[in-house]
Structure 1
Amino acid sequence: MPALRVAGFGDNVVDRFLDRGVLYPGGNCVNFAVFARRLGAESAYLGVFGSDEAAAHVRSALAGLGVSTERCVEREGETGWCDVRVVDGDRVFGEWAGGVVLDAPFEPDDADLDYLSAFDLVHLGPYAALEGSLPRLRERCALISFDLSDDPEQREPAYLDAVAPHVDLAILSAADLEWDEAEDLARAIHARGAGLCLVTRGMEGSMLFDGDRAHRADAVGVDALDTMGAGDAFITAFVLALLERGWTRGRVPSAETVREALTRAAAFAADQCSIEGAFGYAKELVQ
């Protein structure tokens, strides 16, 4: 069976751990590409790199990990960043800036779309201003996943109307919601056109709504060193598990496949909590 091929299309940032005095490469779409590579898939990252030392560090890390960046562009400007502290193993976010990814967003041309169409799935998130490209991506790509994050902005009806009809898997981080609230929101996202809706609630577990049933699974308990990247690890392992079982657009995975995917994703996310930063590659933070 040929290796799965997936791409993360969107944000790259550095997570600045103020209490440690270091920064780490990160960003939802970068993390997705890295974790997919670690799980045995061929992977690529596509996006805008800045012109600063932080961007060079992210690019070097991706090259060392075997993640392709062949179609990325570089533009004059700062790499996005987020200030983080770790309290009792959990991340606490502070100030952030989107950097060049949001200041000068990637604008895919026909060659970029041809490139992305060769992957089994393309993953995006809300921090790269690519929502307007979703209709064209859906036309050309086999499968699209989109992480809605946990920001209230990404739960607004107008935003969901712009995103949900164009994605095969919508992902919602909903630790702030109760299960019934999270399921109601997942159903609303599906009703707007998303093929499947994955909900993660940290140590409360996870759920997939497939349009008919809500499948739930427990989290794996862990004494966390650092939860940075755990949600992205869960998403990546879940997506790859579905792809391995033949998931395609318009085909609802079986209950057995969903249970297996949720279980594998929970285990991989738990393992991620033993790593500092999203995937290591610490660099001294100079301010």
Structure 2
Amino acid sequence: MTSIVVLGSTNMDLVAYVARAPARGETVTGREFRTVPGGKGANQAVAAARAGAEVSMIGAVGTDDFGVRLRAALDGAGVDTDLLRTAEGPSGTAHIVVDDEGGNAIVVIPGANGAVTALTHGDEALIGNADALLLQLELPLSVVTEGARTARRLGVRTILTPAPAKPLPPELVAATDLLVPNEHEAAALTGVTDPYAAAEALLRVVPEVVITLGARGSLYASREAPPVTVSAPRVTAVDTTAAGDTFVGALAVALGEGRPVPGALAWASVAAALSVQRPGASTSMPYRSEIDMETNSRMDAL
């Protein structure tokens, strides 16, 4: 079984569902409000666990009720939380508006995530025994960089989601094996909007890149082979909040199992497509049996 460690955030998602997002200074009436366990790190951990990996989480929750619920949600998904810290004060929160087209706007308040500033010896040992380390940018950049450098030193593959988009420290980039931005993050990192040109620019600093293209699928590029594009299943989106994290978690599992890149991308795309048809973040993520069933049915239809 593929072993994955996630060094990342845990947030409680406070989600308001509206017909359309309000403009600046405008008030709109929503139709529903939910609190859903999330955070990019926790989301990727749940996605990978449901996709069939053995997953451990390094991060922090607060001493509030949200912290209790966040830990319980990870435990319930089968994620090992032995090294998930509890930091004095509030847990991280994400304030999300989801419109009728499934689009979203998000404000993240780090809370306890900001307390994760360095790795412990236990964290390093856990990373050293994994097949891959998943990273995002909702923890302090110093510890994300330390995690990547530790994984590189120990021979563990690093997969970085550069979100929320911000300039990346050279030390972090140098220790990244696979970079997985969406097309907007890729443009922010490179200054070019064409995904192929952005991928080419990113390959100057990392060996492999996957750029997710939303409903258009994904683009894989490496220094060793021509680019590969895989289309996404056509579905009606209800909530796209967890699509990227579902894709990354499932992709890490597929690559860890040795699947060829096109098949790994297609399998991860099916997982993401299943997630956007359901509301919420971690609650929308599919199980391996669902991904396999949908993948097989699509192959049979060809």
| Residue 241 (structure 2) aligned to one of 228, 232, 245 | 228
Residue aligning to 1:276: 279
- The answer as to whether partners of 1:50 and 1:75 remain within 8 angstroms in 2 is yes
| Residue 48 (structure 2) aligned to one of 36, 41, 57 | 36
Alignment of 1:200-219 (within 5 A): 200-211=212-223, 212-219=225-232
Q: Distance in 2 between matches of 1:52 and 1:263?
A: 39
Residue aligning to 1:237: 250
Alignment of 1:169-208 (within 5 A): 169-175=178-184, 181-192=194-205, 194-208=206-220
Q: Distance in 2 between matches of 1:5 and 1:105?
A: 22
Quote the sequence identity (%).
24
Residue aligning to 2:12: 14
Instruction: Note the C-alpha offset of 1:175.
Output: 4.6
Count of aligned pairs: 262
Q: Which runs of 4+ in 1 moved over 6 A?
A: none
Residue aligning to 1:137: 151
Q: Secondary structure at the match of 2:211?
A: strand
- The answer as to whether partners of 2:61 and 2:92 remain within 8 angstroms in 1 is no
Residue aligning to 2:162: 148
Instruction: Note the C-alpha offset of 1:161.
Output: 2.4
Residue aligning to 2:138: 127
Q: Structure 1: which 5+ residue stretches go unaligned?
A: 247-256, 282-287
CA pair 150-217 structure 1, distance change in 2 beyond 3 A: farther
Larger mean Cα displacement after TM superposition, 117-126 or 91-100: 91-100
Q: Structure 2: which 5+ residue stretches go unaligned?
A: 18-31, 285-302
| Residue 117 (structure 1) aligned to one of 106, 123, 128 | 128
Q: Secondary structure at the match of 1:280?
A: helix
Task: Verify: 1:99 aligned to 2:111, yes or no.
Answer: yes
CA pair 84-169 structure 1, distance change in 2 beyond 3 A: same
Amino acid at match of 1:17: V
Residue aligning to 1:260: 263
Q: Distance in 1 between matches of 2:230 and 2:135?
A: 24
Q: Distance in 1 between matches of 2:12 and 2:101?
A: 19
Q: TM-score, normalised by structure 2?
A: 0.81
CA pair 258-9 structure 1, distance change in 2 beyond 3 A: same
Instruction: Note the C-alpha offset of 1:186.
Output: 2.2
- The answer as to whether partners of 2:221 and 2:227 remain within 8 angstroms in 1 is yes
CA deviation vs aligned residue, 1:116-165 (integer Å, no higher than 9, x gap): 111111101011012330322321251111101262x2xx4xx2523221
Instruction: Note the C-alpha offset of 1:41.
Output: 1.2
- The answer as to whether partners of 1:122 and 1:141 remain within 8 angstroms in 2 is no
- The answer as to whether partners of 2:2 and 2:53 remain within 8 angstroms in 1 is yes
Amino acid at match of 1:122: L
